Structure 1
């Protein structure tokens, strides 16, 4: 099958526009530096580049083909060198559909497939009709589950019923926009604030002026983050169809994605202080190869389950996906709290030293000793960091919790655990502490996004690591037995459904 005909002019306009803008920028800079280059010759070169881009896109469109078989999605592409890819459907984790405003008007969409263990999108169809993208999304999931699709034009309503799990309300969307900080908005601060404050004479900069600039920067960051979050989660809707979660979201860029329930590795509940005070929380799911923010849908795509809802509603959905017991967290030993206090006190002292150095050589900081006031807050910060850390070892799941400003609770089924790692830094060894990392297929190396029990007593950490490893082995054996029984039952049903010789006669 071919890409949609309207994908050709769209790719010409978008890719041609990017190439032309780059050539224009480089060309205008080179006209004054290269003697033989004038405007007439540059216009000819620009036209030649544009024709090459258009020819390339025509060849790409003509030589791109894809086919969905019972077991794989086969793609052939390439202009000069041909590339043939056969993507096994069993490895497909998520199937996402992306559409911006122009694509929605043109009736086309980008279909992306994410596979286990990948660091980027395994395959992307740019672009097919939106109806074709939805058909592929449904058919891939059906064929993964071994469901026969008998009639080619089978209506979607013949499949499993759609159950609406969550729809974001206007109040929840506004609250989410108000409490979210988007890293992408930080660039606007560095762009807008220097432009607005460029008229200020550096010689007249005082502590109050610097404080006003900080407040103005925070305001710009908050407003821009709210706008990005609002557009990102507008119209968020989560449904369950059989053994699959499906979501829709986005104002300018519309996303439609699917999350196979049997591929879920970890459930993650997030709360910041404002959300905790208001009784709200967010829930995300991690599939093999991707944790929230790591995959191609790094803007919060396929891994997002509930961006914001009341805590009881989040807990209810989490329990429907994984039947785990309510955790009773075991906190780190109290000496870990003293360690946190010392660490925050050292940070305050270093900040004071930096302020003193700036004032000593520039005279711009009037009150260089102001950061010393943070020493009074060090014990409070250490207490709250200690209070919001802990772990729980259940019969079927291990649960970890970390963070105050963004408290993260991760629920990991034992059968999803890949490795259990005990780590001790130089500073932890001085306090006889250790960190136990519960690594899953969604984790990529040790980082704060992994499920980990931080600053556990060193002896308790060794016991925790061995306990999780034992329960991992037990859970894997039980799951293999259950799958064997399920496979035998399905084979027996398939044999019983076959017609006998007398029926054939």
Structure 2
């Protein structure tokens, strides 16, 4: 059944149609707003703009077929130019299953087939039944497992019995709410809200805008402060709701050597990550989450990754730091984790201070001549000192037998856990100023998503960086 050519569910027509209408909605509006109303040309052109996407979507659905062979996955598509895509099963790194709002209405899902080194998903099915999507994923996973077993047998290595390995972790609603509140996205939402307010003159009628403007002019400082708090609260509610919807029903399940990650309420997402393909683990502690002792765990894996998370997969959105070692032991036993044992030396403090103070000093000098801002200009320099101290305190590393752990950060504290066999490039850099202070910076690059990702820690002790170079070489 899986080896016969198939077409997608007709819901694919609707999804393509919506996407095409989204691209032509502005020309249609301009067409009817400008020109002679009721002219035959307007109506004929509008009919063409509406009919063409419908016909195009139907033809695309009809010409799109896919099927699974013994060793690969094939897609045949194209409107005027026929395109044949063949993906070998052994090159497939992950199969992601998503279900948007329209797909859920028709009880179908979309499938993204991703390979190592691809700049985009090589195979995308926008609307197929979920049981068929799961069968496709199982077909690929079974093939890859069979290949791994064959390699182990040929190398006469003793296979690890993982048949009984079965771990599951979930995140409840209360933790998701706290995660949304402590996420730093409130600043982004507040910036978007401020941008919308700056464009309010173009959005509202002149009479309404003038009434609002006159009312605001009569505000006292206390009323402005209350308005600011109200906007901040609105941004907080928006980002919290967005976070809860994004990670609702979050579950990570390990079965043998596969991690299955599901999340989402209106848009349901399923990610499949092979433990053997994980290049590293990142533990990120936001500045507010540190107050409660929580963090987010990401995995760096070969393949496309999650575009919403900068090419990384969220392994756990909100976990107590004290539970991280046990969690990693259960879900990624190949990753060794330990606390940071070596910090940047005290003589590195001025190196961290210098750049932060210099940047904020330049900004302060640029605005110091403005009226009523002299005091705030001095405050900017103090902010530079504060940021420099944070960066200094965050910098550190731990060197284990087969793993290096780097920690650095700005406001968020980032801890990268990288196995030695996954390191692509390790570089120690030293400037003239660092050489005088016997300091050195470490840069480690791993293969992640479609590009390499580099983690670094600046101004470490020269001997420590040299030790890491010797450990890797």
TM-score (norm 1): 0.78
| Residue equivalent to 2:152 | none
Spell out, residue by residue over 1:369-390, the C-alpha distance to the aligned partner (whole angstroms, 9 max, x if none): 3231344455444333211111
Distance 1:297 1:143 in 2: 27
> Is the alpha carbon distance of 1:370 and 1:200 closer, same or farther for their aligned partners in structure 2, counting shifts above 3 Å?
farther
| Residue equivalent to 1:479 | none
- Pairwise CA distance, 1:187: 6.2
> Is the alpha carbon distance of 1:298 and 1:393 closer, same or farther for their aligned partners in structure 2, counting shifts above 3 Å?
same
| Residue equivalent to 2:355 | 343
Q: Which moved more, 1:201-210 or 1:437-446?
A: 201-210
Q: Which moved more, 1:393-402 or 1:60-69?
A: 60-69
Q: Which moved more, 1:404-413 or 1:335-344?
A: 335-344
| Residue equivalent to 2:174 | 171
| Residue equivalent to 1:262 | 276
Conserved? CA contact 2:438–2:461, under 8 Å: yes
Conserved? CA contact 1:433–1:457, under 8 Å: yes
| Residue equivalent to 2:84 | 84
| Residue equivalent to 2:256 | 242
Correspondence for 2:344 among 321, 332, 353: 332
> Is the alpha carbon distance of 1:58 and 1:427 closer, same or farther for their aligned partners in structure 2, counting shifts above 3 Å?
farther
- Pairwise CA distance, 1:12: 4.8
Q: Which moved more, 1:391-400 or 1:281-290?
A: 281-290
**Match status 1:231 vs 2:245:** yes
Q: How does 1:416-431 map to 2 (within 5 A)?
A: 416-424=422-430
- Pairwise CA distance, 1:318: 1.4
> Is the alpha carbon distance of 1:123 and 1:221 closer, same or farther for their aligned partners in structure 2, counting shifts above 3 Å?
same
- Pairwise CA distance, 1:58: 1.8
**Match status 1:455 vs 2:446:** no
Distance 2:103 2:141 in 1: 24
Distance 1:275 1:53 in 2: 47
- Pairwise CA distance, 1:194: 2.9
| Residue equivalent to 2:445 | 439
Conserved? CA contact 1:392–1:398, under 8 Å: yes
Conserved? CA contact 1:101–1:253, under 8 Å: yes
Conserved? CA contact 1:188–1:221, under 8 Å: no
Distance 1:268 1:144 in 2: 26
Spell out, residue by residue over 1:16-58, the C-alpha distance to the aligned partner (whole angstroms, 9 max, x if none): 43134132144246x34xx8x9643122112112222222222
**Match status 1:44 vs 2:44:** yes
| Residue equivalent to 1:494 | none
Conserved? CA contact 1:341–1:382, under 8 Å: yes
- Pairwise CA distance, 1:192: 3.8
> Is the alpha carbon distance of 1:396 and 1:166 closer, same or farther for their aligned partners in structure 2, counting shifts above 3 Å?
same
Unmatched 5+ stretches in structure 2:
149-161, 202-208
Conserved? CA contact 1:422–1:437, under 8 Å: yes
- Pairwise CA distance, 1:63: 1.5
| Residue equivalent to 1:222 | 236
Conserved? CA contact 1:97–1:133, under 8 Å: yes
Distance 2:46 2:273 in 1: 45
Conserved? CA contact 1:333–1:457, under 8 Å: yes
SS in 1 for 2:471: helix
> Is the alpha carbon distance of 1:119 and 1:143 closer, same or farther for their aligned partners in structure 2, counting shifts above 3 Å?
same
SS in 1 for 2:271: strand
The CA RMSD over aligned residues, in Å, is: 3.3
Conserved? CA contact 1:59–1:79, under 8 Å: yes
> Is the alpha carbon distance of 1:214 and 1:341 closer, same or farther for their aligned partners in structure 2, counting shifts above 3 Å?
farther
Conserved? CA contact 1:3–1:125, under 8 Å: no
**Match status 1:7 vs 2:11:** yes
Q: Which moved more, 1:267-276 or 1:344-353?
A: 344-353
| Residue equivalent to 2:192 | 188
- Pairwise CA distance, 1:428: 5.3
Conserved? CA contact 1:112–1:121, under 8 Å: yes
Correspondence for 2:401 among 386, 392, 395: 395
| Residue equivalent to 2:377 | 371
SS in 1 for 2:343: coil
| Residue equivalent to 2:104 | 104
Correspondence for 1:297 among 300, 303, 307: 307
TM-score (norm 2): 0.83
Conserved? CA contact 2:364–2:380, under 8 Å: no
Distance 2:396 2:251 in 1: 32
SS in 2 for 1:326: coil
Distance 2:303 2:439 in 1: 30
- Pairwise CA distance, 1:271: 1.1
| Residue equivalent to 2:21 | 17
Q: Which moved more, 1:427-436 or 1:236-245?
A: 427-436
- Pairwise CA distance, 1:443: 7.1
> Is the alpha carbon distance of 1:308 and 1:75 closer, same or farther for their aligned partners in structure 2, counting shifts above 3 Å?
same
Spell out, residue by residue over 1:246-296, the C-alpha distance to the aligned partner (whole angstroms, 9 max, x if none): 011101111012111110000111112332232222211110145xxxx45
Spell out, residue by residue over 1:208-257, the C-alpha distance to the aligned partner (whole angstroms, 9 max, x if none): 88877765554443332212111100110111122100011101111012
**How many pairs were matched up?**
443
- Pairwise CA distance, 1:119: 2.7
Distance 1:342 1:317 in 2: 39
SS in 2 for 1:102: helix
